[in-house]
Amino acid sequence: MAKENHFGQKKRLPRMMRLLRRMRPSTLPVTFRRNRVVLLPDGSGFFSSLHAALRSAKRFILIEYYLIRDDRTASAFAAELAEAVRRGVRVLLIYDYIGCVDTPSSYFKNLAQQGIELVPFNVPSFRRGLHWFDKRDHRKMVVIDGTLAFLGGFNIGDEYAGVKEGAQRFRDVGFSVSGSVVHELVRIFSEAWLMERGEVPRLSLADSDEAARTRPQGRANVVIVSGGPHQRRSYIRSAFLVNIASASEEILIATPYFVPGPRVIRYLLRAARRGVRVRLLLPARSDVPLVRLLGRSYYSALLAKGIEICELEREILHAKVMLIDGERTVIGSANLDQRSFHRNFEINCIIDSSDFGGQIREMLLEDFRDSRCITLEDHERRGLTARVLERLINLFSWYL
């Protein structure tokens, strides 16, 4: 029996309906019902579950990743894929060309020699024009046989898998999902393959249809939000805004790159004004220090209105999660930054489940307890150099 959520719904549901009515019907997302969602809150658990699922694949494996290293974790991943091909499984892999620019070409040549079909995303050229040079495939997704998928913030590398210790270890979150929503993920992957290869991969989903009918169903309702620069407006940002605006009690956010822009800031401040407790978990250290410095330029406005900000110190935060009123989770590859809103291909899931939300809340509250909370007084005491750098970097915030 599902746990009762202690947050009231009387305020939230009418507000959500009003927001949805303002949107054009053609843009309303599809809700896939009765899916099973499993939280994988750390790297060791995520990759252990992923590898076990890869070994169970019978027909095809679809993979889309921004970054794949050439290290121990990536070697183990490649070995699993090669073994799947030897069993007769078709393996298709899209990797971002710039995201993997430091990965030796020999790594991908080895995959191709093993029979894995590869597509590098957006190899720099003048074919699409200069404006496409900065477009990246930032998704992290594996789909197995059209019945099971793995998503979240994890890339393929030791720092994500929990192999590295100390300052180089990343704090990330992933999850698996099975049910009717997985067919939508197959469609999204096929669109990306078509964009780069010029053809849609031929995949048999008949067996997965039968598996979906016979598999025990879950209780989670899931909406897929797929965003990219080919869209006239940012669906990723719109999903964040609608969910922030629907909150009636609490908003918990964890994001590694916090460059939200004025609209997201306004929505967060409005939520705080109507009595919603808003808590942000941000990184104390970052693999992109300029973005961390830019994110801190927003602190004063938020702290002054009662929004709580904590910085995770023990690891480098890389999780991308937002929890609304303890039961609706926005989780996936997208950060709260302009790059994810406008220039990256991203994929987020909105998971409506009090059970899953309860697990997310417990996980985030533990991270908040292990973090350093920032006060307005402490933040205002930062030096003149930091203030000048924040203003200077803000001039180039669109490109970070």
Q: Print pLDDT tens along the chain (400 aa).
A: 344 455 655 455 555 555 555 544 445 678 999 999 999 999 999 999 999 999 999 999 999 999 999 999 999 999 999 999 999 999 999 999 999 999 999 999 999 999 999 999 999 877 766 666 789 999 999 999 999 999 999 999 999 998 887 677 899 999 999 999 999 999 999 999 999 999 999 897 766 555 555 555 799 999 999 998 888 789 999 999 999 999 999 999 999 999 999 999 999 999 999 999 999 999 999 988 888 888 899 999 999 999 999 999 989 999 999 999 999 999 999 999 999 999 999 999 999 999 999 999 999 999 999 999 999 998 888 877 777 777 777 766 666 6
| DSSP state, residue 101 | T
d(CA 151, CA 246) in angstroms, rounded, equals 25
Q: Pick the catalytic residue from 164, 183, 318, 342.
A: 318
| DSSP state, residue 156 | B
CA 121 to each of CA 65, 212, 335: distance values in angstroms, whole numbers, following the listed order: 10, 31, 20
pLDDT (0 to 100) of residue 24: 45
Q: Pick the catalytic residue from 135, 183, 320, 342.
A: 320
Q: Pick the catalytic residue from 96, 137, 325, 355.
A: 325
Is residue 320 part of the annotated active site? The answer reads yes
- Structure tokens given for 9: 């719904």
**CATH topology (fold) of 42-172+180-214:** Endonuclease; Chain A (3.30.870)
Burial letters 46-69, b for 16+ CB under 10 A, else e: bbebbeebbeebebbbbbbbbbbb
Is residue 109 part of the annotated active site? The answer reads no
pLDDT (0 to 100) of residue 229: 87
Residues 6+ apart with CB under 8 A from 396: none
Q: Pick the catalytic residue from 70, 71, 96, 145.
A: 145
Is residue 6 part of the annotated active site? The answer reads no
d(CA 113, CA 101) in angstroms, rounded, equals 20
Is residue 131 part of the annotated active site? The answer reads no
For 171-224, the DSSP string reads: E--EEEEESTTHHHHHHHHHHHHHHHHSS------HHHHHHHHHSPP-SEEEEE
Is residue 140 part of the annotated active site? The answer reads yes
Q: Sketch the domain layout of the chain as residue ranges.
A: 12-30+220-399, 42-172+180-214
- Structure tokens given for 189: 């992957």
Which residue, 206, 194, 91, is CA-closest to 146?
Answer: 206
User: Tell me, what amino acid is at 89?
Assistant: V
For the domain bounded by 12-30+220-399, which CATH number is listed? 3.30.870.10
Q: Pick the catalytic residue from 140, 164, 183, 342.
A: 140
* One fold for 12-30+220-399 and 42-172+180-214: yes
Count of CB atoms within 10 A of residue 193's CB?
Answer: 21
For 297-363, the DSSP string reads: TTHHHHHHTT-EEEEE-SSEE---EEEETTTEEEEES--SBHHHHHTEEEEEEEEE-HHHHHHHHHH
Q: Pick the catalytic residue from 71, 135, 137, 138.
A: 138
Cβ atoms of residues 354 and 147 within 8 Å: no
Can you give the pTM of this predicted structure?
A: 0.90
Is residue 379 part of the annotated active site? The answer reads no
